[in-house]
Structure 1
Amino acid sequence: MSRTSPRTDLDFEAFYKHARGRLLLQTYALTGDLPASRSAVKDAFSHAWHHWRKVSRLEDPEAWVRPHAWSHAQRLHTTRIWHRDKSLDPERRATLEALAKLPVSQRRVLLLNELSATSLPDMAREVGLPLAETERQLQAGTAAFSVERDVPSTAIRGLLEDLRTQTEDTSWPRGSIVRRAGDRRRRSHTLIGVAAAVVAVIASGAVATDAGGAQPDIDRVDRSADDSAPAAQVEVEPLPESAMLDADQVDAHLPGRGWQVVSTDGNTEGDGLVMPCQQERFADPHGAAALVRTFESQAGGTTMHAVQSTELSRTTTGAQRAYDASLEWFAGCADGRAHLVATYDVDNVGDAATVMVLRTWLGDTRTVVAGVTRSGRMTTTTVMTSPSTDPVPATAPGGLLAAAVNTLCGEDGGGACATDVEMHTRAPVPVGVAPGMLAEVDLPPVTGVDEPWIGTEPRQAMTNTAATQCDRTDFTGDAVSHALTRTYLVPEADGLPDSFGVTETVGTLEASRARAFVAGVRDRVDKCAERDLGTEVTRLGRARSGEAEMDVWRMTTELSDDQSVVYLMGTVRRGTSVAQVCFIPAPGATMGNDAFVALVRRAGERLGAMPPPA
């Protein structure tokens, strides 16, 4: 198939039928969770249809779909549910047990080797490891599985293929339903926007990358597409419309735009995803009432939209969970090419209130401002999106949240009214499996690359992938605890060298040792040019504030008369926690010095979620 001839919907149908069983077997072997695997594979194909113009040109579209299916399956999977399956054959149970005992990296490379036609170099790129490390992980995983199952390595493929017995009777939605889910996703990305309020200091900030996270669940689309099935997943009553903001209130905080109410409903139709970054229909699936209102403005030749979503929980504990869930939607935004720019606490508005500012590239650059507040048993979210060239007053997001709370405070369960609004910058909301590390949403864009960043699974830092030849920093000493390392790649981009990417390694030490640790890195890097005349070191940034410190450098090492390698590297300490971040650019694919300094600073902010030294 030519790279220059995009395939049609019929080609997608054939691809879907040909590859879905194979991907289901792989995800089931990876997780041992058949329902999660089935959902993940369907969502991955929906995602592929969303990007079919690009995916269809690839020589191996399945290699694009597989990482999405695997990652989503692991996010959905939480327990070894085969333990509860009394009908599972003992031999297959033993195979799943043996796979579960492997580290995730070993399990992934073993399954790629045995259940796909992936070459070792492509395998290394897909799992985000150096080629030599990938080969080592494959050898270790093969040996460990063979010992656990007491079989020779030549028998592994047969044992894995035997798991197909558990997956072959799976029922699949029609390809048209999968494509409809992808079309819904595309519409939600291009039509659901919100009117934007953006703080002046971020008007020229870094722009967006993709978190590559969970996509809309096709199961929800199947049900909403079936006229005989209920559209909503939970039974909730609509709130009174008087509990919502009106157009005049929106215009008071985003003035001069002539705002109008477009719709007001209980969000029981379609897939329920009415806001950017939203992951579920309701933040409180057991809530008592909910209402969504959308607004539109067409002033100055620019169409903007705004959304307010309000939920009434049955208990204050339920409202707290709804608030936390809503924060996670935006703090770890899974929409395409989203970059978290700033986070703010909002004082004197409800029991708790937070504003987050993100930049997205969904065709045009947009700034998304999401405000979430909890007051009593009410959780309300306002989301505003605008072209990044059209900022609005910095007080708008906090003021709009206060207006929403003051509209709700007279309702049953609405809590106290807001008073004087104050906004303060704060560290980002912890997200992900390793909240003390960078998340995909933290990474800025790279010039010349439009595809999303994808992070590998955090793993024990036996090797520090963020170290450079100048510092050779080691996180394996007895004094270092909770040492993890992670690599961030752009696997969907063509033409990038294997060396391209961002790496981060973190760890914790006793306070004095943490200070000595980063001082040692600083000393070695500052003296590197003296030791190695072929290396040029330029300091990009340095900051000290209480028990926090940061140093950032650019290093260029000449390999020959006509070849050199460039590193951007930074270290940051926050109390007893330290992080090292390294970025290796490629010709035509780099990030600005200021953007990298901001990334290292964000790594320091994330360190607040690290556990104390062991």
Structure 2
Amino acid sequence: MSRADAYDAYFHESRGRLLHQVYAYVGNTEVANQALTDAFTAAWRHWPELGELSDADSASKDAWIRARAFRATERGQRSRRPWYAIARETADDHRPLLLALGALEPDARKLVILCYLAGLDLPTAGREVGVTDDAATEALHRATATLSSRGIDVSPAALTAALQRLNHDLINEQVGRPSRLRREGNPRRRPHLLVAGAASLALAVGALAITAAQEEDDPIAQLERPMPEPETEPRRITSRPETTPPPEPELTEGQLASAKEATILDGSRPWKLVDSSADFSITEPIDDCVSSMPSSPDAQHLWVRDFSSGKGAHPSKATQMLEVTQTPESARRAHRRLVEQFAGCAVEGHQLLEFRSISGIGDQAVMLALRHVDEEGLHDERVAVARSGEALVTWVTRGTTAHPVDAPRLVRVLSRSVDSVCRLAQGTCTVEPAKLIKLQDEPAPPADKTRGFLTTLDMPLFEGLTRPWMATAPREFAANPAATECDQADFAAAGAEDVLSRSFVIPHARRLPTYYGMTQTNGRFASPKAAADFMADVTSEVKGCGDRLRTLNVELNDKVKFGDVTGRVWRIEVSTAANEALVFRVALLRYRDTVTQLTYTPAARADTEHDGYVAVIVPRAAQRLAQR
């Protein structure tokens, strides 16, 4: 096999895995591609030595290429935007892993990639990186601890599988043909070009000199030269001062809010600026519900500021993010993506309380209210996300249930933030007067694929209960699990189709009875009238159940209406043999031809009470039902 054939064969055999490894190291498809191209080009210049390596599995050649490519990525990273902001081909679900890898020291990152992706043992990986066995062991231990702290599963099988999935981002990436790389890497090619270029330049200069000399000696050539026109008046030489157009104004961190403006959130306590990031220096998402930063893959700027107020262990906090994209369309997609991450928060222990649109601020704006629980108690969070032209303005405010951030005050702060960027971002500013700004309850974006049903994000949270809610997948049951002895709602017997039920429980929660939880059943009828007739029949059963069953008592019977969704909510109390009362909070809702029954069996230490059930849980069930 010729030297060129051997090089080409190695290129085709190794290109895919090496590009995968370099991409995992740098996190940018473009930089990885260029770095590997440079490394293969250099490899051809050293192929007389590399080609003599006899390792059957190409391990030594791989190590040489990797080392060269890893070094080349450092040159490719010298841009004002970090790799995770311009990695357009990076899948959204891969960004958290790439962010976590990017937080590691370069040598530690290499060890992770060599051990878990390239399949090297730790001593071999340590020698390739240039550290001792003990240093490699310690560095890898610290690296996996860092990855684990960022939510990455570092069990060997899981981490290897996660790294292998990064290969999906490289489907469209092509490293140049080996023949071209050999031509570019040919060490004799460049001197030949220099000699040829010098010879051409010498010939051109010589030709000009000969032509000029011939014209000076040839009288005919001199006579044929055009005579200059006589000047009728002296020429006036005017000089125009060179003017450069003023640079277009750009958005800067100066458009972010000050501590004085943050005080609007709560004027009863002083606020202070805690931290202000430089452009693109932020690497951590601004909230647990946000999977990656920035929100747009083609972001041009990203600034974050943190504010704090109050004293003690739990002061109120606020974070502002300003993200600038290339186009208004990019900003629109980033706005939708960020809103969906908050409204569908995938982190356990969170509840979505409110979702509202804001009219009159920017091109589009929404506000969300979230609650989460941990060992320290309940925490309320209010989020506002607005878009104006190419700019995305986000505020995340964190308080306690006893001292939450007021929604109208957050609207005022958001409007000021949008007004500071709207003109430069070529977007819409805040309407005037401010009283025209309107907050409107809206259905939250679907949180999962189970359309028509509540999700764990809709379940109530209680202080001291840190175990997460779990939901079963909707499925068919022989009998309606949401029915009580009082209503006896039988969807299937009434002619409903697609009758599915799901349950919500808190497994292994201490001091909660086994019956605690929530169950929902959905069914679609032949027509809206058939659905309404079913509702009327169940309502009639509930109205008379106290007469039929002495142990049952219907204490509350509320009519509810949420847009096109109508229904009833009951509080049914059952007396048990132990002289105790078991409470059922039952909602029956109809949206066109579909009916849902939602039954909540609370406990004494974990109950929304009837008003909370009607004000928060039932409206969300109506919204989810309308999304069916």
TM-score between both structures, scaled by the size of structure 2: 0.56
Alignment pair present for 1:430 and 2:446:
yes
From the superposition, tell whether residues 270 and 287 of structure 1 become closer, same or farther in structure 2 (CA, over 3 Å).
closer
The 3 A distance-change label for structure 1 pair 541 and 271 is farther
Q: Distance in 1 between matches of 2:574 and 2:144?
A: 49
- Larger deviation, residues 383-392 vs 299-308: 299-308
Task: Describe how 1:390-429 pairs up with structure 2 within 5 A.
Answer: 390-411=403-424, 413-419=425-431, 420=434, 421-429=437-445
Supply the distance in 1 between the matched residues of 2:154 and 2:300 (Cα, whole angstroms): 25
Matched with 2:553 is 536
Q: What is the CA distance between 1:395 and its match in structure 2?
A: 1.4
CA drift of 1:534 comes to 2.9
Helix, strand or coil at the partner of 1:543: strand
| 1:588 to partner: Cα distance | 4.8
1:435–1:174 distance in 2 versus 1, CA, 3 Å? farther
Whichever of the two has the greater Rg, that structure is 2
> Which residue matches 1:455?
471
For CA contacts below 8 A with separation 6 or more, give which structure has more relative contact order: 1
Secondary structure of 2:367's aligned partner:
strand
- 1:304 aligns to 2:320 (yes or no): no
Give the AA of the match of 1:283. S
**Cα distance change of structure 1 residues 590 and 546 upon mapping to structure 2, 3 Å threshold:** closer
Q: Which moved more, 1:321-330 or 1:471-480?
A: 471-480
Q: Provide TM-score, normalisation by structure 1.
A: 0.58
Please report the RMSD computed on the Cα atoms of aligned residues, expressed in angstroms: 3.7
Q: Alpha-carbon deviation of 1:406?
A: 0.8
**Shift of residue 270 of structure 1?**
7.3
For 1:451, give the aligned amino acid.
R
Return the letter of the residue paired with 1:350: G
Mapped partners of 2:400, 2:356: distance in 1: 21
CA separation of 1:397/1:507 partners in 2, compared to 1, >3 Å: closer, same or farther? Answer: farther
The reply on whether 1:356 has 2:368 as its aligned counterpart is yes
CA contact (8 A) 2:282 2:304 kept: no
1:507 aligns with 2:523: yes
Q: Give 2:622's aligned residue.
A: 604
Aligned residues of 1:398 and 1:422 also touching (Cα < 8 A): no
Distance 1:394 1:588 in 2: 29
- 1:240-389 aligned at under 5 Å gives the runs 240-265=252-277, 272-298=284-310, 303-362=315-374, 363-389=376-402
Gaps of at least 5 residues in structure 1 are 1-34, 36-74, 78-166, 185-214, 224-237
Q: Is the 8 Å Cα contact of residues 504 and 517 (structure 2) preserved in structure 1?
A: yes
- Alpha-carbon offset, residue 339 of structure 1: 2.1
Q: Amino acid of the residue matched to residue 604 of structure 1? A: A
Quick one: structure 1 residues 266 and 459, their matched pair in 2 at CA, closer, same or farther if it must change by over 3 Å?
Answer: farther
Q: Find the aligned partners of 1:398 and 1:334 in 2 and give their Cα distance.
A: 26
Partner of 1:40: none
Distance of 1:457 and 1:551 partners within structure 2: 25
CA distance in 2: counterparts of 1:299 and 1:534, whole angstroms: 52
Aligned residue for 1:451, secondary structure, equals coil
| Cα distance change on mapping 1:395 and 1:566 into 2, 3 Å | closer
Shift of 1:182: 5.3
Are positions 1:577 and 2:594 aligned together? yes
For the 8 Å contact 2:280–2:303, the answer to whether it is kept is no
Q: Are the equivalent residues in 2 in contact too, given 1:284–1:322 (CA < 8 A)?
A: yes
Distance in 2 separating the partners of 1:267 and 1:579: 49
Distance 1:580 1:435 in 2: 15
Aligned pair partner of 2:565 in 542, 548, 555: 548
Q: Secondary structure at the match of 2:589?
A: strand
Task: Tell me the distance in 1 between the aligned counterparts of 2:580 and 2:401.
Answer: 38
1:34-113 equivalent positions in 2, closer than 5 A: none
CA contact (8 A) 1:239 1:291 kept: no
Q: Which amino acid aligns with 1:371?
A: A
Name the SS for the 1:572 alignment partner.
strand
Residue identity (%): 26
Q: Could you say which residue in structure 2 is the equivalent of 1:518?
A: 535
CA distance in 2, matches of 1:181, 1:254: 37
Q: Measured at CA, do residues 583 and 382 of structure 1 come closer, stay the same or move farther in structure 2, by a change above 3 Å? A: same
Separation in 2, partners of 1:482, 1:175: 52
Q: Deviations over 1:277-333 (max 9, x none)?
A: 222222223333322121223469963321111222333332222111211222122
Listed as ranges, the gaps of 5+ residues in structure 2 are 1-23, 25-91, 95-116, 123-138, 161-249
**What is the rounded CA distance, in whole Å, between the counterparts of 1:265 and 1:414 in structure 2?**
24
Alignment match, 2:492: 476
d(CA) in 2 for partners of 1:270 and 1:368? 21
Between the aligned partners of 1:354 and 1:590, the Cα distance in structure 2 is 29
Q: Is the 8 A contact 1:447 1:591 kept in 2?
A: no
CA contact (8 A) 2:452 2:625 kept: yes
SS at match of 1:410: coil
Q: In 2, distance between residues paired with 1:393 and 1:308?
A: 16
Deviations 1:371-407 (A, max 9, x none): 0112222222111111232245441121122112111
Shift of 1:447: 7.1
In structure 2, C-alpha distance between the alignment counterparts of 1:533 and 1:245, rounded to whole Å: 63
- The AA in structure 2 aligned to 1:388 is T
Distance in 1 separating the partners of 2:273 and 2:598: 46
The count of residues paired between Structure 1 and Structure 2 equals 400
Q: Equivalents in 2 of 1:406, 1:366: separation in Å?
A: 30
> Do the aligned residues in 1 keep the contact of 2:373 with 2:463 (CA within 8 Å)?
no
> Structure 2 matches for 1:159-174, cutoff 5 A?
none
Cross-structure match for 1:20: none
Mapped to 2, the partners of 1:536 and 1:175 lie a distance apart of 62
